[in-house]
Amino acid sequence: MDEGWENLRIVREKLGLTMRDVESASDRIARRRNNEEFFIPISRLSDFETKGVIPSIYRLYTLAAIYRRNFGELFSWYGVEPEVSLSDSEAATLPVSHLTQALAHNTSVQMPVRMDPAFDPKKTVNLGRMVEQWGAVPFIYLEQLSKLDFTYGFVGTEDLTMYPILPAGSFIQVDESRRKVMQGGWRSEYERPIYFVETREGHVCCWCTLGREEIILQPHPLSPVPPRVVRDGEAEIIGQVVGAAMRLGDPHHSSPNPMSFRKTVHH
Please state the domain extents for the chain: 2-77, 109-263
Class of domain 109-263: mainly beta
Residue of 202 and 253 predicted with greater confidence:
202
Distant-in-sequence, close-in-space partners of 39: CB < 8 Å, separation ≥ 6: 23, 26, 27, 29, 30, 62
Q: Mean pLDDT across the chain, nearest whole number?
A: 79
pLDDT per residue as tens digits for the range 88-110: 776 776 666 455 555 555 555 55
Q: Report the pLDDT value the prediction gives residue 47, as an integer from 0 to 100.
A: 93
Are 166 and 155 a contacting pair, CB within 8 Å? yes
Residue 229 has pLDDT above 50, yes or no: yes
Q: Report the pLDDT value the prediction gives residue 1, as an integer from 0 to 100.
A: 42
Degrees to nearest 5, angle at CA 205 with 204 and 211: 85
pLDDT bucket at 264, cuts 50 / 70 / 90: very low
pLDDT bucket at 257, cuts 50 / 70 / 90: very low
Q: Report the pLDDT value the prediction gives residue 222, as an integer from 0 to 100.
A: 94
Are 231 and 246 a contacting pair, CB within 8 Å? no
pLDDT per residue as tens digits for the range 9-31: 999 999 999 999 999 999 999 99
pLDDT bucket at 196, cuts 50 / 70 / 90: very high
Residue 208 has pLDDT above 70, yes or no: yes
SS3 annotation, 16-46: CCCHHHHHHHHHHHHHHHCCHHHCCCHHHHH
Of the candidates 58, 48, 54, 59, the residue with the CA atom closest to the CA atom of residue 10: 48
Of the candidates 160, 158, 152, 128, the residue with the CA atom closest to the CA atom of residue 243: 152
What mean pLDDT comes out for the span 187-209?
92
Q: Report the pLDDT value the prediction gives residue 113, as an integer from 0 to 100.
A: 52
Residue 172 has pLDDT above 60, yes or no: yes
- In whole angstroms, give the CA distance from residue 239 to residue 125: 13
What share of the chain has pLDDT > 70, as a percent?
71
> What phi, psi does 151 have (nearest 5°)?
-115, 165
- Is 130 strand, coil or helix? helix
pTM over 0.75: no
Q: Report the pLDDT value the prediction gives residue 70, as an integer from 0 to 100.
A: 86
Question: Max Cα separation, the chain?
Answer: 79
pLDDT bucket at 195, cuts 50 / 70 / 90: very high
Residue 58 has pLDDT above 80, yes or no: yes
Angle between helices 57-66 and 19-33 (to 10 degrees): 120
106-116 exposure pattern, b = at least 16 Cβ within 10 A, e = fewer: beebbbbeeee
Least confident of 38-52, 82-96, 131-145: 131-145
pLDDT bucket at 194, cuts 50 / 70 / 90: very high
Return the number of other C-beta atoms located less than 10 Å from residue 81's C-beta. 11
The answer to whether domain 2-77 and domain 109-263 are alike in fold is no
What's domain 2-77's architecture? Orthogonal Bundle (1.10)
CA distances from 145 to 174, 203, 218 (A): 10, 19, 27
pLDDT bucket at 251, cuts 50 / 70 / 90: very low
Of the candidates 26, 49, 47, 48, the residue with the CA atom closest to the CA atom of residue 38: 26
- Is 127 strand, coil or helix? helix
Residue of 160 and 81 predicted with greater confidence:
160
- In whole angstroms, give the CA distance from residue 39 to residue 22: 9
Q: Report the pLDDT value the prediction gives residue 72, as an integer from 0 to 100.
A: 84
SS3 annotation, 174-223: EECCCCCCCCCCCCCCCCCCCEEEEECCEEEEEEEEECCCEEEEECCCCC
Residue of 186 and 258 predicted with greater confidence:
186
